Structure 1
Amino acid sequence: MLLVLLATTSWQVAAHGPLLRLDRRLRGALAHADAALPAGTLRPAVDGVAEFLSDLGGSLVAVPVLLGCALLAAGALLRARATRWWLPLPAAAVAAVLIPLLVVPAKAYFARPGPDGVPLLPDQWGWYPSGHTATASIAYGAAALLLATATARPRVRTALHCGAVLLALGVGVGLMWRDYHWFLDVLASWSLAGIVLWALGRLLARWRPGR
């Protein structure tokens, strides 16, 4: 399903298909919602939260969180005397490296202008897919999977997974609210991250202590 969704959005962006109307309509709806907020205190507060969520998708924030969680997971597995306690470290490194390897070539290939409509400069990448959304979704999702592997408490694992999903959704919505990205840019990165995390989750399930 995620592959089909990613392929569909990529096809529509490359062919300038009718699905791009959804981008324009959603952008207009978000702009209307932002303009409808009271200008005194609520609008700056909402814009500030959206900006903060957007910044959480930066590699300088998300990747260190991923690596730190990998260290915590490795330490917990070591204390649990797991035979492969060190595996969260290379798993986190691979996840961090995959982000630019998957996103940057796609940005260069599709070369999609941003919502502001300014043409791309020769040294600029495109906006599709969203790098911040992919970074946040893969980094925080992988961090949650690694920490969940190191705990035997189902409620903790559920909380970690839900927290990662909320962060990924928050970053994507924040980017759209601040008019940094189209909806399809964000949707493609969610799909791409879901594929990466599905594969990582299948691998980590074999490493969990007790299996």
Structure 2
Amino acid sequence: MALALLFALISWQVAVDGPLLGVDTGVRGAVHDLRRTLLSIPLNHLGVALSDLGGGIPAVPVLLGCAGAAARLERRAGRQRWWLPLPTAAVAAVLIPLLVVPAKAYFARPGPYGLPLAADQWGWYPSGHTATSAIAYGSAALLLARSFGRRVARRLIAGTAALCLGVGAGLVWSDYHWFLDVVASWCLAGLLLQALAAVLRRFGSH
């Protein structure tokens, strides 16, 4: 519920150009000041590299590969619905553009540089790279975690969360996205992952 409310609040503020968007300009200014202070080329390259991890390639192939590995592990474990990770991953991959692209087209928010959108651009809100990374890597972690003990599963999920946070941080650091674009996509991904976890508990327990 909290994720849904936060997503709705941010979306409303983006739609009406509300005062909450001052958070974006404040964060962007602070990041620019920090970048000028550090003058770290390796850190800037790291930001770009982390941002790239949110692209459809490699995120979707990683999701599908992990789904195949999860299905194989579950088949070895004798689970009746060992094949469930495969359609689950396919649905998650399809939902990414179905959720993000219409929202981008509807809100048509300009990026951090403030340039008008070109005819072939959808807009920056919500962040597609953030949503792609969180949904794809998060789904992959949930599918694999079912085949391991609690300790390994927790480490896997924690590592995936850190990776997805890194992608969002890289996008903001590299000036590719507003901060709230990233936060909104985390909310959207969180809602989808909660639904996915519920489905796996309901139908994948045997």
1:202 matches 2:198 = yes
Q: How does 1:42-61 map to 2 (within 5 A)?
A: 43-61=40-58
Deviates more, 1:89-98 or 1:199-208: 199-208
Deviation at 1:208, TM superposition (A): 4.8
What are the Cα deviations for residues 70-112 of structure 1, in whole angstroms up to 9, with x where unaligned? Answer: 0000000000111000000000000000000000000000000
Contact residue 144 and residue 161 of structure 1 kept, 8 A: yes
Indicate the percent of aligned positions where both proteins have the same amino acid.
60
Structure 2 CA distance, aligned partners of 1:49 and 1:154?
31
Q: Which residue pairs with 2:33 in the alignment?
A: 32
Q: Which residue pairs with 2:167 in the alignment?
A: 171
Structure 2 CA distance, aligned partners of 1:139 and 1:123?
25
Structure 2 CA distance, aligned partners of 1:150 and 1:98?
24
Q: Which structure 1 residue ranges, 5 or more long, are not aligned?
A: none
Deviation at 1:207, TM superposition (A): 4.3
Deviation at 1:150, TM superposition (A): 2.0
Structure 1 outlier segments of 4+, above 2 Å: 206-209
* CA root-mean-square deviation: 0.9
Deviation at 1:163, TM superposition (A): 1.2
Structure 2 CA distance, aligned partners of 1:195 and 1:160?
19
Contact residue 84 and residue 204 of structure 2 kept, 8 A: no
Q: How many residues align?
A: 205
Structure 2 CA distance, aligned partners of 1:180 and 1:20?
16
Match of 2:195, as an amino acid?
A
1:75 matches 2:72 = yes
Q: How does 1:22-171 map to 2 (within 5 A)?
A: 22-37=23-38, 39=39, 43-151=40-148, 153-171=149-167
Q: Which structure 2 residue ranges, 5 or more long, are not aligned?
A: none
Q: Which residue pairs with 1:15 in the alignment?
A: 16
Q: Which residue pairs with 1:192 in the alignment?
A: 188
Match of 1:191, as an amino acid?
C
Structure 1 SS opposite 2:19:
coil
What are the Cα deviations for residues 30-52 of structure 1, in whole angstroms up to 9, with x where unaligned? Answer: 00000001x4xxx1110011111
Structure 2 CA distance, aligned partners of 1:7 and 1:173?
22
Structure 2 CA distance, aligned partners of 1:154 and 1:208?
17
Contact residue 130 and residue 182 of structure 2 kept, 8 A: yes
Match of 1:21, as an amino acid?
G
Contact residue 62 and residue 137 of structure 2 kept, 8 A: yes
Contact residue 106 and residue 128 of structure 1 kept, 8 A: yes
Query: TM-score of the superposition, structure 1-length normalised?
Result: 0.95
Contact residue 74 and residue 150 of structure 1 kept, 8 A: no
Contact residue 55 and residue 129 of structure 2 kept, 8 A: yes
